Structure 1
Amino acid sequence: MFCVLQFYSLLENSAIANNTLQYRQVTLFAPTNRAFQKYKGSKDDLILYHMTNLAKPLDQLDGSVSSELEGNPPIWITRIKGRYRDDLYANNAQILQDRSNYIQMNHQQKQQVLHVIDKVLVPVRSANKDTTQIYNPDAFHFLNQSENLDVGDHRLRSFRQRVYQNNKGNVFLSEGKHTFFIPVDEGFKPTPRPEKIDQKVIDGHVIPNHALFTDATPKDKDYETLAFGDNVRVTISFSTQSNGKASSYYVKSNTIVGDPNHTEGVVLAEIVKANIPVRNGVVHLINRPLMVVDTTVKQFLEDQEDGPLHEFYNKIQDEGGEFMQQITKLRDLTLFAPSNLAWTTANIVNVHNRDKLREILNLHLVYERLTVEKIRDENVNQLFQVQTAAERRKLYFNVIKHGHNVTLTVEGGGVNATVIEPNIAATNGFVHIIDRVLGLPYTSVKEKLQSDPMLNNTYHLGQQGNFNEELGDSTKRFTYFVPRDYAWHKAEIHFPSAHKKLFMKDYGYHVRQILERHLVVSDQPYTMADLKRLANDTVTLPTVRDHLKLRIKESDKSYYVEWQGEWIHVFRPDVECTNGIIHVIDSVFLKESDVRVTRSPSVPLMATHVTIILSVAMLFSVKWLLL
């Protein structure tokens, strides 16, 4: 068992542990050497918290086991069902099953079991040896005696005072296994915030009947809190946020149903000290109270100096202040805020122009309150779109369902992002954290066609004759008028025969001709604003095959192009790509005469003549027989 030598060294130096091994049943949870290298805390009496006085093989581990440390504090066991094998955790340490379940008998014929774990188990400890020692406290005694416990620099007086004033101590005394979230004193600013911590909010900090440790808990799974009833319904879920180098743990309360004193929406809090085991469950210290919505969007961003949006906040500061002034004045807004990881993309790092940066930031701002639920409701019968603070720039939403899981995506400026943290509530709106920065493309024209569910038919047709492969050329600049799937459905109604033939493999030549009509190749891509400036009357654009003559007009904040006498709505203009621009249109540049075939394309002309000759010969043969 070379991987646990540091644990073995501690074991050898503990007289109590050696005596237990000699005479009693034992289960040992042995951290790996790597686990001890990462552990920076005290090792005093640590060995006894990794021992129990009963032998428990893997198949018998469930609920909790009592440790041999003074007071016998529990080690909480989490079993996560797997398809082939369950994952097992002791507190927040995963049991490495391939190196566990080592069973043997001691000299007293007592069974002993060894399990190897990937983290050191850390019990609740007194702050120093000179104070009264506290062993195996429940959550209430932990809260009450926090000044005498080793919780780092954190203080819990403000929350404790609210618990006393609201007579909610019984919540933290409750027997069983529960998860308790306790906000630290630093999170009780601004001043009015403590008054908002009422009985219902305190209940919203407790998940009953589950001892949830950070690594052993599924991310984004909602757990009902004590504040989940008929009038108010609050859930809590865990999540992680990465800045590209390290990850931080967060919890979010979601007030699904509120009342006049409890605003609906999500409150996000960082876990500043996690996984503190207590007699009736586990405690997590968080940087601010849950459920309390008392900051504006601006204040929320300012609070994210080291949080999941600090890179976004830094970009707002780089912009010079106009964007922050804008959101400060708004009474109703929604901000789609890119995560820290989203800003690490190379082409984003190189944006230093303030005007360009302001345009990008404006693309993330909407002048109304939009919850995910509202977006889903608006998206039922048609693709929901909304104007942004960027001139003539809209956001387009798509709801993707996989069984019970629902994912919301948002596209802006050619970038498709996924909402990863929805409905963070502020007093003047909502913040949704997304996984990409809108307005700075990262896909080619080909890749955009391939990934956009609205453009499936055009992409499918372009697969014929390798037309799509040309759209990945990074040395060219394309302006592509791409019919969305709705446009091809219209074409099927107006030109059923031509439409049917286009989607047959044997008509690749005609498909290519039609698609080339939609594709402009020039020194630069053209936005719709560029085309409108160029077109005093009609603009002629060099397509791959010939020329495309269009007229452009703008009406009711939308663009239209006229082709062959038909005014066609530009459903999504200016979808930027790394090698061009896509304009998504509502009709196909298609004429009935584009596909005219008098014979089956799969039958060669000579074969057709042979068939006719044979048919005539058979006719004469039948006539001869009748005579």
Structure 2
Amino acid sequence: MCLKMSCVAIVIFLGLHVVPNIQAVTVDVKMRDDSDLSEFYHLLEASQVANSTLMYRHVTVFAPTNRAFQETDSNDEHGDLVLYHMSNLPKTLDEMGDSISSELDGNPPLWVTRKRAYPHDEIYINNAKILEGSNFKSTIKLPSGDVKTQVLHKISDVLEPIQSISRESPIYNPNAFQFLNQSDSLKLGKHRIRTFRQCVLNNNKEDIFKQDGGYTFFIPDEEGFKSPFRPNKVDRQVIDGHVVPNHVLFTAPTPNDRPYETLANTDNFKVTISFLIDPNSKRMYVKSNTLIGDAAHPTGVVLSEIVKANIPVKNGVVHLIQRPLMVVDTTVQQFLMEKEDGPVYKFYQAIADYGDNFMDTITRLQDITLFAPSNAAWEEEGVKHILQDRKRFKEILNLHYVKEKLPLDKIRQKSVNQVPTAAAWKNLYFNVIEGSNGSQTVTVEGGGVNATVITANIAATNGIIHIIDRVLGIPYTTVLDKMRTDPMLNSTYTLGMRSDFNKMLNKPNQRYTFFVPRDSAWDNTRMNMASTYKKIFMPQFSYHTKQILERHVAVGEKGFSMADLKRLSSSEPTTLRTLRDSLKIRVREHDGSYQIEWQNRWIRVFRPDVACTNGIIHVIDDAFLTESDVTVTADVDDAASSIASFTPHFVMILIAKWLL
């Protein structure tokens, strides 16, 4: 019995001493035992300085995962990479400021960005996100009795420091000007920045690249100066427009399309910069937006691809870009064809392959606004099929430009809501959607396709380019989907929902021609036929409402365009088979628009030829409606209702008399 109790006591004694050792795992052991950090730990083991730091000093380690190493081509031939992932300041997440110094020679900073996110804010070190499983903290006790605190964070990307080409004369922790001035001695791959450096020197703007603090610098690559005239356009204001003060903007944590003020902001100048990402190619772009300029610096957007991103320097971050910002020296045509993998290059390819002389046409114009579909827009199946029909495609191309300069602010202020295109009898229609946070989204409809403007006001010497997310004129929605999403057709859609009419508009194998009264048409009915309007929108009259809507829908083997209907009714009215019975109409062109004659009334077609996958919508200014459509049948219903309510009462009286 005593032996058993002694054994239990020994086990308890050992247990009490084992548990503290398990809890006192060091950062070194934590990394060694984490299989997801094996590649980084292997590099760390090979670095004598890094091992010494872990053994004897305070430290914060930013350890990239194995996946991060698989997605980068970085190498650590001299052991520099590991030291750039370490700091001799132990910092947990809530203790981090705007930057933290690294252990690499020269102690270049690691920049810290906090990004608002739900449910927890995200923290980035340079362009690497701190991952779950971070914030591990432990201590080590030295033989001298000193206690050192150590912290481990796991990160999503490998941190890449600036590296010198020569080991004999390395460049330690350069600021942006030193980076610019000594770029030929740095590992930048194929990129060279000599011309922009010379522009900075010629304009005595070195100081803005030397300033202490946190800046973002955009430096154009040599590729962007192929034009011999372009360097002369990079003056003092343009150089200022390449620098964002008080923000160190790495690409991953920076919100898409959020504008930041540049140094080119004075009483007479305002230039902002924002990042854009192409959702199709995932390429990163930067755009400068000159909101207030002068004769030498026109207003508008200049778009440039980031060709080498996130180069950390002592006073911020540098991004190498494909061409200088703020410089407007290309035509609309040149913008389309400037870069083979640019944001609208597939549009240019389609024009070159199937557009005949379209490019020559837009080049000759002096004032043009081009709505250029993004690369992703050309991936739609319907778009691919239409390319084989050259005549149809030429009509579609003509939908994408107007012969005037139309900046987005003019549309946002609602000073224009429709404008004629180069396609005959085809307009573009604009709508401004107000967001809950005060933001505004601008949509443009052409040929029945509603597209969103995703990048606006790209400036060219002969016009403006707006990048949109769909190809206009190639339908991708049914008649029902179009009714549901078009803000101008809400009233007709609501009537169709109440009367169980809408469901038939979604049949893919039918072909409809739907004459849809727009909302203002029903407003006119309310003023001119108040009683009829009231009954149409009452639930008990839904049967009559359905009949009225059915009169507006012709069915057949095809949907009829307004040009088709004008041709069919050139000599006498044409009769269309409708969902109800038939519709007898005549069509004419008058005062720049189509008109429909129905029962001796001429009704303007506000928006013709809205193409859908199962038919065509024509938006009209009045309904095919008469007061007798509801009044006569309503009287019968009222009478029937009165008899129904009266009969039980009458029967009760007779029964009472019989019982007496």
Q: Give the TM bin, normalised by the shorter chain.
A: over 0.9
Distance 2:558 2:637 in 1: 41
**Pick aligned residue for 2:149 from 90, 111, 119:** 111
**Pick aligned residue for 1:374 from 386, 407, 410:** 410
Residue pair 2:351, 2:359 contacting (<8 A) in 1 also: yes
Distance 2:620 2:173 in 1: 67
Residue pairs, 1:153-164, within 5 angstroms: 153-164=190-201
Distance 1:298 1:129 in 2: 47
Is 1:514 paired with 2:548?
A: yes
Is 1:389 paired with 2:422?
A: yes
Distance 1:291 1:415 in 2: 32
Is 1:354 paired with 2:422?
A: no
Is 1:59 paired with 2:97?
A: no
Sort the Cα spacing of 1:154 and 1:602 in 2 relative to 1 into closer, same or farther, 3 A.
farther
**Pick aligned residue for 1:523 from 557, 565, 570:** 557
| Residue type at the aligned position of 1:578 | T
Distance 1:89 1:249 in 2: 18
Gaps of 5+ in 1: 618-627
Deviation at 1:365, TM superposition (A): 1.1
Question: Counterpart in 2 of 1:230?
Answer: 267
| Residue type at the aligned position of 1:110 | K
Deviation at 1:545, TM superposition (A): 1.2
Q: Deviations over 1:39-93 (max 9, x none)?
A: 1122232100000001111111220000000000000000123354211000001
Distance 1:612 1:513 in 2: 34
Residue pair 1:337, 1:434 contacting (<8 A) in 2 also: yes
Sort the Cα spacing of 1:320 and 1:486 in 2 relative to 1 into closer, same or farther, 3 A.
closer
Distance 2:192 2:59 in 1: 37
Match of 1:35, SS state, is helix
Question: Counterpart in 2 of 1:40?
Answer: 73
Deviation at 1:501, TM superposition (A): 1.7
Match of 1:106, SS state, is strand
| Residue type at the aligned position of 2:485 | S
**Pick aligned residue for 1:239 from 276, 279, 289:** 276
Question: Counterpart in 1 of 2:170?
Answer: 133
Distance 1:54 1:504 in 2: 73
Q: Deviations over 1:426-454 (max 9, x none)?
A: 00000000000001000000111011111
Residue pairs, 1:474-489, within 5 angstroms: 474-489=508-523
Deviation at 1:412, TM superposition (A): 0.3
Question: Counterpart in 2 of 1:302?
Answer: 337
Distance 2:531 2:112 in 1: 66
Deviation at 1:147, TM superposition (A): 0.4
Distance 2:592 2:349 in 1: 32
Match of 1:85, SS state, is coil
Deviation at 1:598, TM superposition (A): 3.5
Question: Counterpart in 2 of 1:167?
Answer: 204
Gaps of 5+ in 2: 1-33, 655-660
Question: Counterpart in 2 of 1:364?
Answer: 400
Distance 1:189 1:577 in 2: 45
Is 1:50 paired with 2:85?
A: yes
Question: Counterpart in 1 of 2:162?
Answer: 124
Residue pair 1:62, 1:79 contacting (<8 A) in 2 also: no
Sort the Cα spacing of 1:111 and 1:516 in 2 relative to 1 into closer, same or farther, 3 A.
same
Sort the Cα spacing of 1:172 and 1:604 in 2 relative to 1 into closer, same or farther, 3 A.
same
Question: Counterpart in 1 of 2:122?
Answer: 87
Distance 1:589 1:446 in 2: 20
Deviation at 1:556, TM superposition (A): 2.3
- Sequence identity percentage: 55
| Higher deviation after alignment, 304-313 or 196-205 | 304-313
Match of 1:247, SS state, is coil
**Pick aligned residue for 1:19 from 52, 61, 65:** 52
| Residue type at the aligned position of 1:140 | F
Deviation at 1:611, TM superposition (A): 7.2
Question: Counterpart in 2 of 1:213?
Answer: 250
Deviation at 1:110, TM superposition (A): 1.2
Q: Deviations over 1:586-626 (max 9, x none)?
A: 00111111112238779956542147749999xxxxxxxxx
Question: Counterpart in 2 of 1:251?
Answer: 286
| Higher deviation after alignment, 80-89 or 560-569 | 80-89
Question: Counterpart in 2 of 1:436?
Answer: 470
**Pick aligned residue for 1:76 from 87, 108, 111:** 111
Distance 2:652 2:565 in 1: 57
Q: How many residues align?
A: 611
Residue pair 2:290, 2:298 contacting (<8 A) in 1 also: yes
Question: Counterpart in 2 of 1:420?
Answer: 454
Distance 1:603 1:185 in 2: 86
Sort the Cα spacing of 1:16 and 1:603 in 2 relative to 1 into closer, same or farther, 3 A.
farther
| Residue type at the aligned position of 2:252 | D
| Residue type at the aligned position of 2:100 | V
Q: Deviations over 1:305-363 (max 9, x none)?
A: 21101100100101254100001100110100000000000111122122122111111
| Residue type at the aligned position of 2:139 | M
Is 1:505 paired with 2:539?
A: yes
Distance 1:593 1:367 in 2: 46
Match of 2:288, SS state, is strand
Q: Deviations over 1:526-555 (max 9, x none)?
A: 000000000022111111111101111101
Deviation at 1:376, TM superposition (A): 2.1
Residue pair 1:506, 1:602 contacting (<8 A) in 2 also: no
Is 1:445 paired with 2:445?
A: no
| Higher deviation after alignment, 187-196 or 264-273 | 187-196
Larger radius of gyration: 2
Residue pair 1:178, 1:207 contacting (<8 A) in 2 also: yes
Question: Counterpart in 1 of 2:29?
Answer: none
| Residue type at the aligned position of 1:420 | I
Sort the Cα spacing of 1:369 and 1:4 in 2 relative to 1 into closer, same or farther, 3 A.
same
Question: Counterpart in 1 of 2:7?
Answer: none
Distance 2:491 2:652 in 1: 40
Distance 1:315 1:398 in 2: 27
Distance 1:602 1:162 in 2: 89
Deviation at 1:295, TM superposition (A): 0.7
Residue pair 1:242, 1:308 contacting (<8 A) in 2 also: no
Question: Counterpart in 1 of 2:184?
Answer: 147
Question: Counterpart in 2 of 1:407?
Answer: 441
Deviation at 1:261, TM superposition (A): 1.2
Residue pair 1:507, 1:601 contacting (<8 A) in 2 also: no
Distance 1:496 1:99 in 2: 68
Distance 2:92 2:370 in 1: 51
| Residue type at the aligned position of 1:208 | P
Q: Deviations over 1:181-221 (max 9, x none)?
A: 00011101311110011001000000001000001100110
Match of 2:209, SS state, is helix
| Residue type at the aligned position of 1:229 | T
| Residue type at the aligned position of 2:225 | F
Residue pair 1:242, 1:340 contacting (<8 A) in 2 also: no
